[in-house]
Amino acid sequence: MSLVKTFNFQLIPDPTGLLSVYETGKGVDFEIKRVYCLSRLEANSTRGYHAHKALRQVAVCLSGSCRFVLDDGKVRESVVLDSPGVGLQIESFIWREMHDFSDNCVLMVLASELYSESDYIRSYEDFLKEVGNAS
């Protein structure tokens, strides 16, 4: 089964622009407790390089594009996000990295939990131990 799970959000275009709707129960299967955005990203920068223990998230690229790498300790997959109408589901205990930010990239993330640094696994070695795949 693929690590990359995407789904579509409601888009309401009209001649003046595009309205996109993000709502618990409409693709997002958790109560949205936090929303954060990444913007003004430096060219050639990369982010992420961690997993979460409990947090579940949905990432949406509101503008421009970026590439997510998802890794469960066995398989590593990559997906490009480039539409405000597409959500990428990121489950707990999945290592994630973000690469290839376009100039105008704005990445929004819908989160199931409030911010907690203790929920992060920031070392890949520790992550492999947690998912039972350390050598």
Annotated active-site positions, please? 50
| Residue 78 binds ligand T46 (CB under 6 A) | no
- For residue 12, the minimal CB distance to ligand T46 (Å) is 26
Interface residue with ligand T46 among 4, 8, 33, 36 (CB under 6 A) is 36
Kindly tell me the burial class for residue 88, based on how many C-beta atoms sit within 10 Å of its own C-beta (0-12, 13-18, 19 or more): buried
Interface residue with ligand T46 among 3, 96, 105, 128 (CB under 6 A) is 96
Contact between 6 and 86 (Cβ < 8 Å): yes
Interface residue with ligand T46 among 65, 109, 126, 131 (CB under 6 A) is 109
| Residue 123 binds ligand T46 (CB under 6 A) | no
Buried b (16+ CB within 10 A) or exposed e, 62-85: bebbbbbbbbbbeeeeebebebbe
Q: Whole-angstrom Cα distance, residue 31 to residue 23?
A: 9
Bridge partners, residue 67, by sequence = 80, 99
Interface residue with ligand T46 among 3, 28, 38, 110 (CB under 6 A) is 38
| Residue 3 binds ligand T46 (CB under 6 A) | no
Residues 43-72 that bind ligand T46 (CB under 6 A): 47-48, 57, 59
Tokens 């590593």: give the residue: 76
**Residue 53 or 129: which CB sits closer to ligand T46?**
53
Using CB under 6 A, list all residues that contact ligand T46.
Answer: 34, 36, 38, 47-48, 57, 59, 96, 109, 115
